[in-house]
Structure 1
Amino acid sequence: MNILVAHNFYKLAGGEDQCVAAEVAMLRAHGHRVTQYCLSNDATDGMGRLELAGRTIWSRPAFLEMRRLIGVHHPQVVHFHNTLPLISPAAYYAARAERVPVVQTLHNFRLVCVNALLFRDGKPCEDCLGKTVPWRGVAHSCYRDSRAASAAVAAMIASHRLLGTWRNAVDAYIALSEFSRRKFIEGGLPADKIAVKSNFAYPEPGAGAGNGGYAVYVGRLSAEKGVETLLRAWRSVGKAVPLKIAGDGPLAPAVQEAAAQNAAIQWLQGVSHEKVYDLIGAAAFLVLPSQCYESALPRVVIEAFAKGTPVVVSRLGAMAEIVEDRRNGLRFDPGNPEDLAAKVRCLFSDSSALKRMRRAARETFDQNFTADANHEVLMAIYARAVDGYSRHDVHEMDTVSAS
């Protein structure tokens, strides 16, 4: 199949960027021709506020470039990942002008929430869910703590909702969990266009030994990821359970301070993706204390399952759907450091439970998150998008003929 993949990279690379890279590699390994159209947020440096806001809503350069690429490469489908801010929904219309079906992966809640997280003031927030104009996201400066930046994103969401972009310009959406699919439907996206396809691990890393004698956190050091809950829990855990933290972000100073105060905490900076796999595979278990919903099962959880490493997660969103308590991990009350500390101490001291959970974690990966299974689901979604576009196209021609 001939596929054009479009993605706007973030300044700080994260799981979403890794998911795009893995999916492109998986598609090519299965014999598909993949052309990439990628922009980076580094290009926004020096860009004026009005110019950036305008491109967020409608990027004429992206519209023209998308039409050019389609004309050169003749893809059978255009698959979008992140479009904010430099690609914008204008690129959907470019694909439609060239009569090519559009698929959009919903990596986050951007189409229904200004900050894309459904998260505010340390807890899940649905104030704007289903609202035509997400004005509360502007009032609370939900995007980058800036009312102006929030207004630009809110204008993009509202204008394209009013234009019918989300309903008419996209042929198939990919939600990364059943939980997020439900939220997007509540937010107004057409239920009949949303399929579920999880993230996956590619290439498959193989199971680890789990003999490192420590717990591990891997991810962005930020409030929505529950880093403060993690650090407060370890004040109670003390030196009983060594903790390795790999990542960077706005809460890095708090992590650095915690590591200085507790010799059991080690902060690892600049760890390569290959080393992260080794780090996860040797860990007794991974801890993911997110206080936001997580639109998808985070990639790091799938990587942990691939390595056969149990996961301790917040009882929230997609995480609670796939992490089965006392089978492939444990769940704790979100934002509750005492509950997390108790679960960590109990699990770390129970070698038989850890051994049993390691087997179950790897079984979860084999049953749900392999590249081959993911490829099969993705091909079905592409076929659905092509079929849906063809029927829409026929309907439009019939309407024109009748008029």
Structure 2
Amino acid sequence: MRILSLHNRYQIRGGEDECHEAEVRLLQEMGHLVDVYEQDNQRVAELGHLKMAVKTVWSQEAHQTVKQQLKQHSYDVIHIHNFLPLISPSVYHAAKAEGVRVVQTLHNYRLLCPNGLFFRDGEVCEDCLGKSVPLPGILHSCYRNSFAATGVVSAMLSVHHTLQTWSDMVDTYIALTEFARQKFIAGGLPANKIVVKPNFVYPDPGIGEGDGNFALYVGRLSVEKGLDTLLSAWEHLDSKIPLKIVGDGPLASQVQQAAQRLPQVEWLGRKPMAEVHELLGKAMCLVFPSKWYETFGRVAIEAFAKGTPVIAANIGAIAELVESSRVGLHFRPGDPFDLASKVDWLVSHPTELAQMRREARSEYEAKYTATKNYQQLLDIYSSSESGEVARPGFAGVGSRE
């Protein structure tokens, strides 16, 4: 099978970049011919505002390049990951013109919400859900806190809603969880075109010992990730278990101040993936305090791979991934006292913790290995190639098979 994989890299490397690379590497190692068309957001600075606005709505450069690539080679499928802002949805039309089937992974909520998060002013916001013109997002400058930038992204969404790009130009959408799938259906995407296939961890990092006697947070240091809840919880713990924080972002200075103020909190900054996996393997638990819905939660399944339980906010996709009392615990989102109580409970129940560690590793082996994911992806490609109607949720995380 020959696949053309498209991805617009982020300025700061994140989970979407890692997922794209892992998928391409897996397909290539399984003997498929995978060509990659990428743009990098490092280019954004060299382009003027007008050029960026035009490219965001319709990149003629990407359209022509991809169309020429499709003409020169016989592709079975084109798989699009992130297209914003340099690739644009113009590539869907290039694929349709050349008769190549299109698969789109929905890594965020961008098709439904200008900032892709359903999050504004510290709270979940669905004001733009289902709207062909996301006017509330424009009025609140939701994308990069910029009225102009939000206007451009909203124009892209509205233009392609009018062109029926989202409904007609994509053969199969991949949602990462059933929760995300239901949001996209509520937002107007065709239900029969959306299947569920989770992300995966590849290569298998191997189970850890869990002997580090600390809790761990890994991720972007930003408001929607619930850093205020996390730091406040560590002021109210009875157990005083250390907390290590890995990551960077706009709240870095607040995290640094908290680490100076609270002796049990340590900020490690950004770390290479190998070091992150080592920390995950040693940690008593991973804490996932997000206030927004998430579409998945890649670090949670990395924790499962290491046999590490996850204490997660009971909201959105992450609540779906973490089965409470089996592979971790839930707490009320935004409630530092409830989070603190769950951490203290885990510290004081070593027998249950040991069982959760075994179940976490089993969860990884059942759902999130490369072998499982590869077969799911092939099923999706085959369904798209043959023109069959995708079976919603057939590759979903809801089944242990």
Give your verdict on TM over 0.5: yes
What is the correspondence of 1:2-401 to structure 2 with a 5 Å cutoff? 2-237=2-237, 240-296=240-296, 298-388=297-387
User: Could you report, residue by residue, the CA deviation over 1:302-342 in whole angstroms, capped at 9, with x for unpaired residues?
Assistant: 10000000000000111111211111100000011111111
C-alpha distance in 1, partners of 2:345/2:52? 50
Residue type matched to 2:328 in 1? G
8 A contact 1:238–1:262 mirrored in 2 = no
- Supply the RMSD in Å over aligned alpha carbons: 1.4
Q: Which moved more, 1:328-337 or 1:318-327?
A: 318-327
Alignment partner, residue 395 of structure 1: none
C-alpha distance in 1, partners of 2:342/2:291? 17
Deviation at 1:379, TM superposition (A): 0.8
8 A contact 2:234–2:240 mirrored in 1 = no
Deviation at 1:47, TM superposition (A): 1.7
Residue type matched to 2:323 in 1? E
C-alpha distance in 2, partners of 1:243/1:348? 13
User: Could you report, residue by residue, the CA deviation over 1:190-219 in whole angstroms, capped at 9, with x for unpaired residues?
Assistant: 011101000010011111000001000000
Deviation at 1:49, TM superposition (A): 1.5
Deviation at 1:237, TM superposition (A): 2.1
Q: How many residues align?
A: 390
Residue type matched to 1:77 in 2? V
Structure 1 residues 238 and 268, CA gap change in structure 2 (3 angstroms): farther
8 A contact 1:324–1:330 mirrored in 2 = yes
What's the secondary structure of 1:205's corresponding residue?
coil
User: Could you report, residue by residue, the CA deviation over 1:362-383 in whole angstroms, capped at 9, with x for unpaired residues?
Assistant: 1111111111111111111111
8 A contact 2:221–2:247 mirrored in 1 = yes
Alignment partner, residue 401 of structure 1: none
C-alpha distance in 1, partners of 2:266/2:230? 13
Structure 1: 4+ residue segments shifted above 3 A: none
What's the secondary structure of 2:38's corresponding residue?
strand
Residue type matched to 1:275 in 2? E
User: Could you report, residue by residue, the CA deviation over 1:124-178 in whole angstroms, capped at 9, with x for unpaired residues?
Assistant: 1111100110010011110000010001111111110111000111111000000
User: Could you report, residue by residue, the CA deviation over 1:82-135 in whole angstroms, capped at 9, with x for unpaired residues?
Assistant: 000000000111111221111100000000000001111212111110011001
Deviation at 1:270, TM superposition (A): 3.0
What's the secondary structure of 1:45's corresponding residue?
helix
C-alpha distance in 2, partners of 1:221/1:47? 28
8 A contact 1:239–1:263 mirrored in 2 = no
What's the secondary structure of 1:212's corresponding residue?
coil
Residue type matched to 2:263 in 1? A
TM-score when normalising by structure 1: 0.95
Residue type matched to 1:277 in 2? H
Residue type matched to 1:360 in 2? E
C-alpha distance in 2, partners of 1:239/1:362? 26
C-alpha distance in 2, partners of 1:42/1:307? 33
Alignment partner, residue 393 of structure 1: none
C-alpha distance in 1, partners of 2:348/2:23? 38
C-alpha distance in 1, partners of 2:269/2:256? 11
8 A contact 2:174–2:195 mirrored in 1 = yes
What's the secondary structure of 1:237's corresponding residue?
coil
C-alpha distance in 2, partners of 1:192/1:126? 23
Q: When you count helix as a share of all residues, which structure comes out higher?
A: 1
Residue type matched to 2:339 in 1? L
Structure 2 residue ranges without an equivalent (≥5): 390-401
8 A contact 1:239–1:262 mirrored in 2 = no
Deviation at 1:29, TM superposition (A): 1.6
TM-score when normalising by structure 2: 0.95
C-alpha distance in 2, partners of 1:227/1:68? 46
Q: Which moved more, 1:365-374 or 1:104-113?
A: 365-374
8 A contact 2:128–2:136 mirrored in 1 = yes
8 A contact 2:239–2:344 mirrored in 1 = no
8 A contact 2:238–2:344 mirrored in 1 = no
- Identity fraction in percent: 52
